[in-house]
C-alpha cells in the first residue's frame, strides 16, 4: 500500500517540489481546493479529498477534510491492533504525513478597511483540526506547518524511509505552537474589535525575531519576540543600517529613547539621550543640531556609551558631531547619504531608521512578576487638562516651555523622579530614589549648569514642603507637579514665600 500524505496549504512555497519528490518515493498525495489544482497543473498526481471521503467539498469550502475517512487515518494508533483492524474494516487508509498551513487570518485583518465578515472567513477550521490530529499521533505521523521544514523531512524520508521519533516530536511541538499562536491572534483580534481590554484569559502571541547573544548579563540567555503586527515607530520595526547585532540592553534602551521622543511633536526638533533606560539628556531647538547639543550637554558624562534618538533627518554635520562620541545606537526617521557614510566609519555603531516617531495608542504594557503578569494601559497620556497655576507667581513664557519639556521627560525617568530644565534642554535628572527629596538633591547636585533660573518637574506630588525649599535654595524659578497631597497647602505656601511659580497637572506619571 502506498503511503499517504495530506497536503493543504495557504502558503504554496515549495509545495510542488515537495509533492513531486514524495510521489517519486511512491507516496499518494491527497489534497484540497487550490493546492490540488496547483499540483495537478504542474503534472503531480493528486487525489482530491472528496474522492477519499466520498463527500463533496461544500459550503463554499468551509467543509472539506472534516470527515472520519480523513481523521481516522491520521489518528489511528499503529501500535494498537484494534485500531488498525477497525480502520481496515472501515476502508480507511492510514495517513503518515500531514502538511498544512493555515488561512491567512493575520494578513487579512491587517489590510486597511477589512470587514468583520472578511476576517471571519479567514478563520481556519479544518486546518487546525488536521494539524492537531497529526501532532497528537506523532508517534506515527509526521506533521509539517512550515515550508522551511520540507527539505529536512524529505531528506529523512529519502535516506531512512521515515522521519525519526525525535524529529516527529519536535515538529509536533512546533505544530501545537503554530495553532496556539493562530488562535491567540484571532482571540486578540476579536477582543480588540469588541473593546475587551482585560479578558478572563489572556492569550498572547509573539514571533521570535532573533536569539540574542545574552540577556541583561552574559550568564543570562535571551531572545527577542515581536508583536505579529509591530507598531510603527517601534524599535522592533526599525531598519538597521549599520553596526553589530543589537543586544538585550540595546533594545531596551532604544525603546526607552523612542518612548521619550514620542512625547515631542515632530514639528519640534528634539534629541533624546538615554542611558540604562533613563533619559540623561533631552534637547529641543529650532533645528536638530541645536537640539543635539543641548541633549549632549545635559549630561556629557552619562551620554558616553548611550543611545540617542532624533525626530528628524540626521545630516552630515550632525552625524560628524555625534560620531565624535562613543554611542551605542543612533535612531532617526532618516539619514542623508553623507551622514550614513560618516556613521558607517564606526563599524560597531548601530544606526537604526524608524519609519515613524509617534506615540502608541490603545496599547497595553506588560510586566512580569514571579508567578504572574501585570497588565495595564500604556501611559500615553501626557496631560488631562491645562496645568493649573496654584501660586501667586506665574511662569514666564520661557519657563512654561521648559516646564512642559521637563514634564515630558520626567514621565520617562524612574520614580521617584525629578527633572531640571533650562533654555530648551534638561540640565539634571534625579531618577529612581526611594524618596522625593533625594531625587531632587541628586538632580541639583548633578546639574551640568547652575540651576539658577531653571524649572523643575516631579513625577509625583510633594508630600512635604522640603522639596520646594530645596528647589528655592538652588535658584529654581518654577515647578510642575501633579498635586493632590494632603500637604499641598504647605508646598504652595513655601513656593509663595520663595516667589516660585508652581503648576499642578492633576495627573502623575510613576514609572517603577
Residues with active-site annotation? 136, 276
Determine contact, residues 502/390, Cβ cutoff 8 Å. yes
Q: Is the preceding peptide bond at 416 cis, omega within 30 degrees of 0?
A: yes
Q: What is the DSSP letter of 63?
A: B
Residue from 256, 288, 251, 290 nearest 273 by CA:
256
For 436, 456, 481, the CA distances from 464, given in Å and listed in that order, are 9, 16, 13
Give the span between the Cα atoms of 396 and 185, in whole angstroms. 51
Q: How far apart are CA 360 and CA 351, in angstroms?
A: 22
Name beta bridge partners: 272.
282, 309
Question: With contact defined as beta carbons under 8 Å apart, do 209 and 240 qualify?
Answer: no
Provide CB contacts within 8 A for 113, sequence distance 6+: none
The three cell numbers locating residue 128: 487546525
Integer distance in angstroms from the first to the last C-alpha of the chain? Answer: 65
Residue 233, by phi and psi: left (phi above 0), alpha (psi -120 to 50) or beta?
left
Rounded CA separation 493/290 (Å): 37
Amino acid at each position: 500500500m502506498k503511503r499517504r500524505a495530506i497536503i493543504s496549504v495557504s502558503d504554496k512555497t515549495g509545495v510542488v517540489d515537495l509533492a513531486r519528490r514524495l510521489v517519486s518515493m511512491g507516496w499518494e498525495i491527497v489534497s484540497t481546493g487550490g493546492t490540488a489544482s496547483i499540483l495537478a497543473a504542474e503534472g503531480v498526481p493528486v487525489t482530491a479529498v472528496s474522492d477519499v471521503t466520498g463527500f463533496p467539498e461544500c459550503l463554499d469550502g468551509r467543509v472539506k477534510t472534516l470527515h472520519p475517512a480523513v481523521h481516522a487515518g491520521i489518528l489511528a494508533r499503529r501500535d494498537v491492533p484494534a485500531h488498525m483492524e477497525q480502520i481496515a474494516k472501515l476502508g480507511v487508509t492510514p495517513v503518515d504525513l500531514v502538511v498544512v498551513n493555515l488561512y491567512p487570518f493575520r494578513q487579512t485583518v491587517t489590510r486597511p478597511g477589512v470587514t468583520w465578515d472578511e476576517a471571519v472567513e479567514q478563520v481556519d477550521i479544518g486546518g487546525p483540526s488536521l494539524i492537531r490530529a497529526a501532532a497528537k499521533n506523532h508517534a506515527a505521523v509526521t506533521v509539517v506547518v512550515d515550508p522551511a521544514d520540507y527539505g529536512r523531512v524529505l531528506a529523512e524520508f529519502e535516506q531512512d524511509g521515515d522521519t525519526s521519533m525525535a524529529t516527529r516530536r519536535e515538529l509536533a511541538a512546533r505544530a501545537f505552537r503554530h495553532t496556539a499562536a493562530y488562535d491567540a491572534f484571532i482571540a486578540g483580534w476579536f477582543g480588540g474589535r469588541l473593546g475587551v481590554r482585560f479578558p478572563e484569559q489572556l492569550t498572547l502571541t509573539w514571533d521570535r525575531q532573533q536569539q540574542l547573544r545574552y540577556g541583561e548579563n552574559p550568564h543570562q540567555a535571551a531572545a527577542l519576540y515581536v508583536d505579529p503586527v509591530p507598531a510603527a515607530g517601534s524599535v522592533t520595526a526599525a531598519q538597521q543600517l549599520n553596526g553589530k547585532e543589537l543586544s538585550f540592553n540595546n533594545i531596551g534602551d532604544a525603546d526607552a529613547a523612542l518612548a521619550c521622543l514620542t512625547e515631542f511633536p515632530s514639528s519640534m526638533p528634539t534629541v533624546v539621550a538615554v542611558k540604562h533606560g533613563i533619559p540623561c539628556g533631552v534637547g529641543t531647538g529650532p533645528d536638530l543640531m541645536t537640539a543635539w547639543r543641548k541633549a549632549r550637554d545635559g549630561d556629557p558624562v552619562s551620554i558616553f556609551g548611550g543611545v540617542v534618538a532624533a525626530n528628524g533627518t540626521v545630516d552630515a554635520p550632525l552625524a560628524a558631531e555625534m560620531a565624535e562620541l562613543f554611542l551605542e545606537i543612533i535612531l532617526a526617521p532618516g539619514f542623508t547619504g553623507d551622514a550614513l557614510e560618516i556613521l558607517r566609519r564606526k563599524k560597531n555603531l548601530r544606526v537604526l531608521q524608524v519609519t515613524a516617531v509617534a506615540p502608541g495608542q490603545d496599547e497595553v504594557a506588560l510586566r512580569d512578576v514571579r508567578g504572574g503578569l501585570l497588565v495595564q494601559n500604556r501611559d500615553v497620556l501626557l496631560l488631562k487638562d491645562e496645568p493649573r497655576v496654584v501660586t501667586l507667581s506665574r511662569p514666564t513664557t520661557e519657563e512654561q516651555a521648559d516646564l512642559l519639556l521637563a514634564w515630558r521627560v520626567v514621565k520617562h525617568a524612574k520614580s521617584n523622579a525629578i527633572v531640571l530644565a533650562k533654555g530648551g534642554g534638561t540640565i539634571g535628572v534625579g531618577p529612581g530614589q526611594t524618596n522625593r527629596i533625594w531625587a531632587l538633591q541628586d538632580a541639583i547636585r548633578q546639574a551640568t549648569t547652575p540651576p539658577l533660573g531653571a524649572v523643575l518637574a516631579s513625577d509625583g506630588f510633594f508630600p512635604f514642603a522640603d522639596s520646594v525649599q530645596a528647589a528655592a535654595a538652588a535658584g529654581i524659578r518654577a515647578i510642575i507637579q501633579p498635586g493632590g497631597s494632603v500637604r499641598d497647602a504647605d508646598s504652595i505656601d513655601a513656593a509663595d514665600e520663595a516667589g516660585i511659580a508652581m503648576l499642578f497637572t492633576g495627573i502623575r506619571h510613576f514609572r517603577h
